[in-house]
Amino acid sequence: MVVTGRAAVAVLLGAVAVAWRPSIGTALLWTLGVVALVGVDLALAPSPRGLALARSGPAVVRLGEFVTTDLVVTNPGPRAVRGVIRDAWQPSAGAEGDRHDLRLGPGERRRLSTRLRPTRRGDRRADLVTVRLHGPMGLAARQRSFPVPGTVRVLHPFHSRRHLPSKLSRLRQIDGRSAVRRRGQGTEFDSLRDYVEGDDVRSIDWRATARRGSVVVRTWQPEQHRRIVIVIDTSRTSAGRVGDVPRLDAAMDATLLLTALAGHAHDRVDVIAGDQRVRVRVVGSSDRTNPLAEVVSALAPVDPAIVEADWSALAAAVVSRHHQRSLVVLLTPLEPAAIEEGLLPVIPALVARHRVVLASVADPAVGALLTRHETTADVYAAAAAERTVALRGRVAAALERMGVDVIDAEADELPARLADHYLWLKSEGLL
């Protein structure tokens, strides 16, 4: 039961009656009359249970964009209803205009739209739908809340996609779509064509020449269908914020750019995200041209866990499923303590079978502290930052001596740097 503002106004109007005939009886009689009217209005108000509620609308949106979700309300009863409906969502869904006036005739259906602009990545869920139906006099209303399940998956914004056109242009050059194909390390047979002046005579296919009766040469292209395994660290170190985003989101941005680029290169991309256990695994296949959509959706609900990373389990997940030599990309913060205790012991097993690259998000605030020497506090902060840089450099040098390629860049630069390193490995035939 809900008492509306009209009931309060009706009680205040009793002051006129009391002023005309001032007595306790007049006030009591007026109040009882208003209460009786409220009771009658409440009895005549339709029940919210009689309405049918259903939800529709898109289930996916990119972080930072708007999406509209619809609530379909049907009045199957013989009476007209009027009132208010609130379509509540969790706060991070960013619901705007979630309260709607409702007027439905018998058998009528209406679609109520709520605009969402989520502020966090992941699955944003709908809360209860509250229905308030007024009585004919508008003095009282019946109210009830109903669960109407609804979920909107908020995807990573993928800011690094602006680098994709330039990287694809370089990939086309490496593939030989705009350059002459020739045999070399990291290439495989592509097709046969007629010999033209200037071709390398070592590329002549003598058997095909004998069958055709004219000189035929072989053409080559960089090897395709190579396996790339991207391992994303979701432990406590990935929860630290660098600038405006967590390290994990910056690592995901680099993952998506590399996945899109490798998909266009016809390489198979596997993505593993985990800490003490594997939380997400996306297995690439040769029949999928670009697995980007599946990777984006799978990584959307992943958040950092306040636990240490179990690199033994993550390395076992890589080694157990990938027996052929692959490119293994480890996206983890270059934190000396976490690397020395957890990752360094398992690196030899990975390097023995695969080409390993470690990509880390650098904190620009550390570099800014190095240049400040105005006060005593600034000097101490600069010394601490210098020590941090030295420790990270020592760990990076240890990894490089073990055969790991280390990329340490700021969040805006890391995706492009990692993509460039992949293209360099592909052009040199090192995958």
Predicted structure pTM score: 0.79
Encoded tokens for 72: 């379909």
Instruction: Tell me the per-residue pLDDT of 315-332, one tens digit each, with 9 for 90 and over.
Output: 999 988 877 888 999 999
The span from the CA of 407 to the CA of 411, in Å, is 12
Query: 136-161 in b/e burial notation, b at 16+ Cβ within 10 A?
Result: ebebbbbbeeeebebebbbbbbbbbe
Least confident of 172-176, 240-244, 246-250: 172-176
The span from the CA of 361 to the CA of 415, in Å, is 10
Instruction: Tell me the per-residue pLDDT of 116-131, one tens digit each, with 9 for 90 and over.
Output: 999 999 999 999 999 9
More confident residue, 15 or 259: 259
The span from the CA of 256 to the CA of 249, in Å, is 11
Instruction: Tell me the per-residue pLDDT of 39-50, one tens digit each, with 9 for 90 and over.
Output: 887 888 888 898
Average confidence score pLDDT of the chain: 85
The span from the CA of 278 to the CA of 317, in Å, is 8
The span from the CA of 406 to the CA of 391, in Å, is 14
**Which pLDDT score, from 0 to 100, does residue 26 have?**
76
Instruction: Tell me the per-residue pLDDT of 393-407, one tens digit each, with 9 for 90 and over.
Output: 899 999 999 999 999
| Ramachandran bin of 341, using left for φ above 0, alpha for ψ from -120 to 50, beta for the remaining angles | alpha
SS3 411: coil
Number of Cβ within 10 Å of residue 210's Cβ equals 9
Mean pLDDT to the nearest integer, 90-115: 91
Instruction: Tell me the per-residue pLDDT of 271-296, one tens digit each, with 9 for 90 and over.
Output: 999 999 999 999 876 555 568 889 99
**Is the pLDDT reported for residue 186 higher than 70?**
no
